[in-house]
Structure 1
Amino acid sequence: MPRDMTTDATKHDVTSPLSMLYHWEKERGDEVYLTQPVNGDYQSYTWTQVGNLARRIAYRLQELDLPPQSRIGIFSKNCAEWFIVDLGIMMAGHISVPIFSTAGADTIQYVLKHADVKLLFIGKLDNTTEQVAAVPDDYHTVAFPYPNLSTTQQWAEFIDCPAIDDSPVPDMDQTMTIIYTSGSTGQPKGVVHTYHSICWAAQRSLNQLKIDTSDRTLSYLPLAHITERVLVELSSFYSGGQIYFVESLDTFQRDVKACRPTLFISVPRLWTKFQMGVLAQMPQKKLNILLKIPILKGIVAKKIREGLGLNHARLWASGSAPLAPAVIEWFAKIGINISEGWGMTENSAYGTASVPFRHDKIGCIGKPYDGVDIRISDEGEIQVKAPCNMKEYYLEPEKTAEVFTDDGYLRTGDRGVMDDEGYVRITGRLKDIFKTAKGKYVAPAPIEAKFMENPLVEQVCVTGTNLPQPVALLVLSEEAQKQNKQEVQESLQRTLTNINSGLESHQVLDHVVIMQSEWTIENDLLTPTLKVKRHVLEERFHDVIQASYNSPVVRVA
């Protein structure tokens, strides 16, 4: 059953995003809030302009005379209009339902039907023609002002109307949004958050991460995902800081440099990409030599940070999945101290954080945020209770009941341990642990992290259900693919030997398989938040995994 984690003491401490918008309109109306690049031209929106556009969205939605708390979809990559529409939906008294911009036809249709979405805003997408075609013809659709969007109404027409003349404030116990999990298995679940649950997290993040009006943040991770929604969009209403967007993947580096972010949040897959990009220009051996020369170390590190566009950042963060300690160590040497954090859609991405950065705690996901109670169950599961926990899974009371303990803790599905200082370390996912043919259980995550210490490795998945011994599937970095095959083979064999020497007998890897193609969202091997879809990988490459090989390191077509 749904559980209300709030108390009277906490409820009055949370302010709605709309109240904060009205505050900034009054106090700093002419100051720039959002910056959106369009064809290389950086278009700015002040707080007053954002408020006016949001009120026009609200006017149009009210004009439709929909039932209160109707579900309104947002299907787009990050852009200024995403924020504006979200505010307009709140003003009109409705519920936002984001859809990942990478979603395929099945997911699009499932979410629209399951949430009974009444109107869908559509913006920039990955495969615009195919994705828009997946939306049933009878849906009322509105296009954001970007090319090649065939919808019922265009943006210019939709906002060609008066603005509502009042400043509504929601009941904080009302549902604000339903966020469908990206999910690595099965159909996505609709996570229901009230204004209170999700805004409690966003508002408190200011103190935890020391965010204020001077901060600049780049919004580029999916807004349909909880982390970007809470720690970037919603927190910006409370901090009053500036938000910049990315025009396209091709302009990413340009747009990072235009933003000069002071707060930069990314995910493991992208941190690894950044690392590989640096090493493509400066081989590791040369970099190691330069970083050992005192007079050059600072200059080289600063030049790399400037090249990445991150030289103004004071806080670098990573979430969504564990980041290999070796990658964190590598970035620390160039002055980028990445603080890992942990959270879930179900708890508003507000669980733990390694802020401030501590070198001795690399490999941990940090300590619980203030107001968050974390415990480790007898089975080793991380369980969490806080006012930011979800209300329920939409229309799924049985799944809601399953995910909460009798005393109100959220079952996270993550295994972990906690040290004497309260720092938590994830040791794997309960559902990722597999049993070999010998009846022994293996947790893949720690072994995968060891492989990532080799800069030749860009992606890794350790598997082995019902095999005599586990195996590892690897994808090489671009740089590694250009190197001599024999040298790559020998390097991976050394890595395999070193890893195996520290494992228990039932964990020892039989061999490593080098895969030919990268795992991506497009080929359905990564979730929209760039986590490996382990079950899809195992199904698609079943024959490769089950095959016997004579060499410890093999390549497959």
Structure 2
Amino acid sequence: MTNASPEMLALQRLYHWEKTAPDRIALTQPMGDGVAIDFTWSQVADQVRRMATHLQTQGWEPGSKVAILSKNCAWWLMSDLAIWMAGYVSVPLYPTLASETVGQILAHSEAKACFIGKLDGWEGMKPGVPTGLPCISYTLSPPDAVKGYVGWDAICAKSEPMKGDVTRDADDLATLIYTSGTTGMPKGVMHTFGNFAWALDKGIQRITMGADDRMLSYLPLAHVVERVLVEHGWLRTGMHVYFAESLDTFAADLQRARPTIFFSVPRLWVKFQQGVHHKMPPAKLSRLLSIPIIGGLVRRKVQKALGLDQCRIAAGGAAPMPVALLAWYRKLGLPVNEGYGMTENLAVSHLTLPGKNQEGTVGPAYDGVQVRIDDQTGEIQMKSAAMMLGYYKEPDLTREAFTEDKWLKTGDKGRIDSEGNLHITGRVKDLFKTSKGKYVAPAPIEDKLVMHEAVEACVVTGANLGQPLGIVMLNPETVSKIADPSAKADLERSLASHLKVINATLDPHEQLNCIVVVTTAWTVENDLITPTFKVKRNRIEDIYSANYEKWESSGQKVIWQAK
């Protein structure tokens, strides 16, 4: 039971903006070829009411599940609201899932219908959608989905808007958020309307948001951070949300939105940095930034080029942010607040305080969040009013997720310093033991390894080896250059130097034996990363572990691996 005030629940916020700001632009949706359309709050509410009427006339039991399979767009948010208004529970699916996972989630959730929206790989996903499952397409859906399914616009045209202000109780189940599955099949995390309202209450005390703010929605709305920060932040504050069209237009989408609040995952913050360094060498940029007047001009120019010159709050999360990366952005005049949380607590656990340099930590807990460190394992455990009800249809897994006294087990190791800031020191299960009997925590070493300008992602591994080793995936720009033998030799020398510098900072048992260089991208499609760009360690082990002993005994400091 949460103590959320009824007027702050999701649907009530929609009715508030419908009444008080009907003509204010709520959403801006790119339609291709540089064209974008706006939706006012009145238009959003009208379409939601019409779709809710249609869904309710299907006669499903209250609380039935309805899925959304789409990239972020205006209709995604309107679908979610319509599902809730009709008395149902939404089930978002990542728009990059394999067909088997699509089928597994639709079956496990017992979805009665599915919105099939904007998708890049629909042909690969389509076999996962059961024949006969009612589906609804959007204007931007793949052509065969538009032809094969009844369309959003057609439904709205023939449906009357639902009358009155239908409400849902704080304790009603709102959604099943299926985890992105770094360790196995996704689990359906159950969250209520009250969970979301409480999370927003606490979130906006730390990140101030208002009606004048702008956000760009581009990370999957199926992910908990985008769901809380963008969707529910939008409903709570009435801010203006823009959508990204595609990876190719991302820079232009950022320029259109010029967000005042911007969240990204570490891998993308690294890519932004590498993009800046591609245009201006790091040494030159650092030198210019240190010159008083010129430094200010350069900061503004770089921020504007990134589309972040209006950004007043930048945040990162979903995986650890390297301290050196945070320091670089701070020097650029764009300090990044690092957050910590998980799907099971609506990502509202910790966040560094805006205006304070708390780099190397994830800051203090949000108000109302209780945190403790387990004496035996060092695991971070927490309680709050945003904790999940449990995993859908998985009572055993739900029991395993909590301690006997009902604290949520995060699976992360950490410590709390004298100022109350939480330091994440690794994953409880990511620790591995070398053949010398010493335990190694990979995460802090990976934070250092990934800071080489050629590296996009990395893993430190080595259970039962004499010393750990690092596997690095090169970024596309570097891969295109190393066809030139001299460029490849230069990179090899640079990586060997990088390894030497890192090892000098590590305890003897942590020092890396070698760096293995991989040129094949780790992607969602080849199942090596999650949709939020977290590397799947178990899959890396599956693919590369047979080579570990050979690499260790080679005597080379930099080893090239074809795949």
TM-score calculated relative to the size of structure 2: 0.95
1:373 to 336, 351, 370: 370
Identity of aligned residues (%): 44
Residue 250 (structure 1) shift = 1.1
1:517 is aligned, of 502, 516, 520, to 520
**Counterpart-to-counterpart distance in 1, 2:473 and 2:392:** 37
> Which deviates the most, 381-390 or 476-485?
476-485
Query: Equivalents in 2 of 1:48, 1:305: separation in Å?
Result: 34
Q: In the TM superposition, what is the alpha-carbon distance from 1:99 to its structure 2 partner?
A: 0.3
Corresponding residue of 1:159: 156
Is 1:47 paired with 2:50? no
Residue identity matched to 1:189: K
What are the residue-to-residue correspondences of 1:173-212 with 2, within 5 Å?
173-212=171-210
Alignment partner of 2:519: what SS?
Answer: coil
Native 8 Å contact 2:210 2:238 kept in 1: yes
Distance (whole Å) between structure 1 residues aligned to residue 15 and residue 280 of structure 2: 49
* Alignment of structure 1 residues 349-428 onto 2, 5 Å: 349-359=347-357, 361-378=358-375, 379-428=377-426
1:474 corresponding residue in structure 2? 472
CA distance, structure 1, for counterparts of residue 151 and residue 327 of structure 2: 48
Moved more, 249-258 or 65-74: 249-258
Bigger mean CA deviation after superposition, 427-436 or 141-150: 141-150
Please name the residue that 1:229 is paired with. 227
Instruction: Find the partner of 1:534 among 537, 541, 558.
Output: 537
Aligned partners of 2:6 and 2:12 also within 8 Å? no
Alignment CA distance shift 1:152-1:252 (3 Å): same
Deviation at 1:555, TM superposition (A): 1.2
Matched, 1:550 2:555: yes
- Over 3 Å counting, the alpha-carbon distance change for 1:538 and 1:357 in structure 2 is farther
- RMSD, aligned CA: 1.4
Greater CA drift, 127-136 or 210-219? 127-136
- Spell out structure 1 runs of 4+ moving beyond 6 A: none
Given that residues 7 and 13 in structure 2 are in contact (C-alpha distance below 8 angstroms), is that contact kept between their aligned partners in structure 1? no
Query: By how many angstroms is 1:454 displaced?
Result: 2.6
1:112 aligns with 2:95: no
Question: Once structures 1 and 2 are overlaid, which stretch shifts more, 447-456 or 419-428?
Answer: 447-456
Displacement, 1:165?
1.2
Tell me which of 9, 21, 27 is aligned to 1:28. Answer: 21
Mapped contact 1:245–1:255 kept (Cα < 8 A): yes
Task: Give the residue type in structure 1 aligned to 2:182.
Answer: S
CA displacement at 1:480 relative to structure 2: 4.1
Letter in 2 for 1:488: L
- Any idea what the Cα deviations from partners look like across 1:371-422, whole Å, max 9, x if unmatched? 1111111121111100000001001111111111122210000101111111
In structure 1, the residue matched to 2:498 is 495
Corresponding position of 1:504: 507
Supply the AA of the counterpart residue of 2:512. Answer: L
Aligned to 1:283: 281
The aligned counterpart of 1:341 is 339
Instruction: Determine if contact 1:463/1:472 at 8 Å carries over to the other structure.
Output: yes
Do 2:101 and 2:128's aligned partners in 1 also have CA atoms closer than 8 Å? no
Aligned equivalent of 1:56? 50
Cα shift readout 1:59-88 (whole Å, capped 9, x = no counterpart): 001110100100000000000001111111
Shift of 1:136: 1.3
CA spacing shift, 1:470–1:288, aligned 2, 3 Å? same
Shift of 1:479: 4.6
Q: Residue 127 of structure 2 corresponds to which residue in structure 1?
A: 133
**What is the 5 A alignment of 1:293-304?**
293-304=291-302
Deviation at 1:249, TM superposition (A): 1.3
Change in 2 beyond 3 A, CA 1:149/1:336: farther
**Counterpart Cα distance in 1 of 2:167 and 2:151:** 28
Deviations 1:431-478 (A, max 9, x none): 111122222211100111111333232211100012121100012334
The alignment of Structure 1 onto Structure 2 pairs a total of residues equal to 549
Q: Out of 140, 143, 148, which is 1:148 matched to?
A: 143
Q: Secondary structure at the match of 2:249?
A: helix
Matches for 1:311-330 after TM superposition, within 5 Å: 311-330=309-328
**Cα separation, 2, equivalents of 1:188 and 1:456:** 32
Q: 1:321 aligns to what SS in structure 2?
A: coil
Distance, in Å, in 1 between the alignment partners of 2:23 and 2:7 is 26
**Could you tell me how far apart the structure 1 residues matched to 2:371 and 2:320 are?**
18
Deviation at 1:179, TM superposition (A): 0.5
SS of 1:23's equivalent in the other structure is: helix
Q: Which residue of 2 is the match for residue 72 of structure 1? A: 66
Q: Which residue identity is paired with 2:492?
A: Q
Helix, strand or coil at the partner of 2:339? strand
Would the alpha carbon gap of residues 324 and 131 (structure 1) be closer, same or farther in structure 2, given more than 3 Å must change? same
- Which segments of 5 or more consecutive residues in structure 2 lack a partner in the other structure? none
